[in-house]
Structure 1
Amino acid sequence: MRTGRVGSSVLAIAVVIAAVIALRVIFIPINDSDPSTTPLVEKNQLGINLIPDFSEIADVEAKKKAFFDFLRPVVRKQNRVIAGERKFLLSVRSHLENGLNLDNAEVYRVQTLAEKYDYGMRNIDLSSVKELLRRVDIIPESMVLIQAANESGWGSSRFAREGFNFFGQWCFSEGCGLVPQSRGDGQIHEVKVFASVDESIASYMRNLNSNGAYRLFRSIRADLRAQSEPLSAEKLIYGLVNYSERQDAYIDELLDMLRHNEEFLQSGNTTTTAFVHG
């Protein structure tokens, strides 16, 4: 009888172990990636498959069209988000100009937008809302597309393919991104990794709309608004002088790319007057 009970116990334990192993095989993926691959690259492995292999498109014109067509819907989506935020702030400005009080929901949303665009707002008054409006504004589609093409080598760079980073955006904590192969001794920056193309473009737009380095960009845009002129990429590109260490040479390069790719930029263009007013 003792032998029978021990045999039953052993069999039961064996069944449990087999079940655990089976569950592990089913639910825990086996890591067969290259051990030299960084965790961030592994995290975005799916994303690589979601980005077309632009380097495989031999025809230059076809490559340009494919690149712009890939990014254009996301650029427009993010501009719609910003346009909605701006429309709300314009209504808040109107309320304050007419001596109306804001309700709690309006106050909360203004505070949320101030935080998003890194604007220290002590009081919600007409002056502070006007200043916040200088930050909460759209960015011309053609400018976004040209800068993405320049910074990512038409989508073929390692950072675009592995990290959805089309704009060369940096981060400064260890493990936050991909380490540039050309990074010099003593430098700690990495090229930021994003979870999606949407996140990458949203971050780029928020950077231009909030970072002190692009105050000139926002000033040019505000002047165009004040004069009821279209937000022209040709004029706003001058506000990117601090985006690259090359400064004026970088601006000249972007303007040259803008001129040479006008037909591809215009081919998918639709009216954006709804984004321009206000």
Structure 2
Amino acid sequence: MRTGRVGSSVLAVAVVILAVIALRVIFIPLNESDSQSAPLVKKNQLGVNLIPDFAAMDDVDAKKKAFFEFLRPAVRKQNRIILSERKFLLSVQSHLANGLMLDNAEVYRVQSIAEKYEYSIRNIDDSAVKSLLSRVDVIPEPMVLIQAANESGWGSSRFAKEGFNFFGQWCFTEGCGLVPQQRGDGQVHEVKVFASVDESIASYMNNLNSNAAYRLFRSIRADMRAQAQPLTAEKLIYGLVNYSERQEAYIDELLDMLRHNEEFFDMPTSSPQTTTALNS
């Protein structure tokens, strides 16, 4: 009887073990498969399902119009944000000129704006605010749209479709973006991935407004402001000479695209956002 009870117990344990093994065989491979495929699904869904298939549009004019209309709301949104920051800095400049003290909230906002535009500010005085204003300024809508069309192949590039990157912006941390298929040996850059069109355009505008490579762009714009001239894409495009290794040829190409696509802009190249009297 004793032996029989032990045998029954062993049999019961064996059944449980077999059941556990069966469950692992059935379910665990599925879980592992899901975990391995999830990042790819998420990555592909980031852009492909949210951007119109511009490459499939046979009518060239319709494609151009659709591309501009797709990006235009985000361009205007970012210019409104910049315009609001600029107005605030001009009010600060006026306060300083009148000998008024800034309150803590004003000081904090000036410092926050300076940090956003990568400008080192120690003392908030007229000189510092004037230098900061050369960075905190709008970018003409036609210029943004034309450069986006050029860099993304009218929205058909892999980087635009998978990463909302319409301006060929790079990043240098492994895994930060998409690896270019023709990246040379020894190069470590990737093409940055953005979460939205807004984020992509905000990054592009901040790049032009803060990066040392585009100091000429900001200088041309500041001179136009000082002379109370409207900010136009035709003049400011010359400040993008360092955006491409092709330099002058790149500028000529952008200007040619600007001329040939002017009819698709629903406003003249000097838009209301950029002609507002905000001269320092």
Q: What's the TM-score once normalised by structure 1's chain length?
A: 0.86
In the alignment, structure 1 residue 30 sits paired with structure 2 residue 34: yes
Partner amino acid, structure 2, of 1:222: A
Tell whether the 8 Å contact from 1:240 to 1:251 is kept in structure 2 after alignment. yes
> Partners of 1:267 and 1:52 in 2: how far apart?
23
Distance 1:202 1:160 in 2: 15
* Structure 1 match to 2:91: 91
AA aligned to 2:108 is Y
Please give the alpha-carbon distance, in whole angstroms, between the structure 2 residues aligned to 1:219 and 1:144. 18
User: Percent of counterpart pairs with the same letter?
Assistant: 75
Task: Report what 1:263 is aligned to.
Answer: 263
- The equivalent of 1:121 in structure 2 is 121
- Quick one: which amino acid aligns to residue 204 of structure 1? Y
How far residue 272 of structure 1 moved from its aligned partner, in angstroms, is 1.6
The answer to whether the 8 Å contact 1:41/1:163 transfers is no
Number of matched pairs: 265
> Deviation string for 1:131-188 (max 9, x for gaps)?
0000000000000000000000000000000010000000111111111111111111
Mapped to 1, the partners of 2:123 and 2:66 lie a distance apart of 47
- Alignment partner of 1:81 is 2:85: no
- Structure 1 residue 48 displacement after superposition: 1.8
**1:31, distance to aligned residue in structure 2 (A):** 4.7
What is the rounded CA distance, in whole Å, between the counterparts of 1:270 and 1:247 in structure 2? 24
Per the alignment, residue 66 of structure 1 pairs with 66
CA–CA separation in structure 2 for the residues paired with 1:277 and 1:29 = 59
Q: Partners in 1 of 2:157 and 2:227 — Cα distance?
A: 39
Distance 1:110 1:267 in 2: 32
Sort the Cα spacing of 1:226 and 1:28 in 2 relative to 1 into closer, same or farther, 3 A.
farther
RMSD over equivalenced CA pairs, Å = 3.1
Aligned with 1:191: secondary structure? strand
Contact 2:118-2:210 within 8 A present in 1 as well: yes
In structure 2, give the amino acid aligned to 1:214.
Y
Distance 2:231 2:269 in 1: 15
Stretch of structure 1 that moved more, 193-202 or 260-269 = 260-269
Residue 43 of structure 1, CA deviation: 3.3
Q: TM-score, normalised by structure 2?
A: 0.85
CA distance in 2, matches of 1:53, 1:227: 43
Which AA in structure 1 matches 2:34?
I
- Output aligned runs, 1:1-278, within 5 Å: 30-31=34-35, 33=37, 39=39, 42-43=42-43, 45-266=45-266, 272-273=272-273, 276-278=276-278
Gaps of 5+ in 1: none
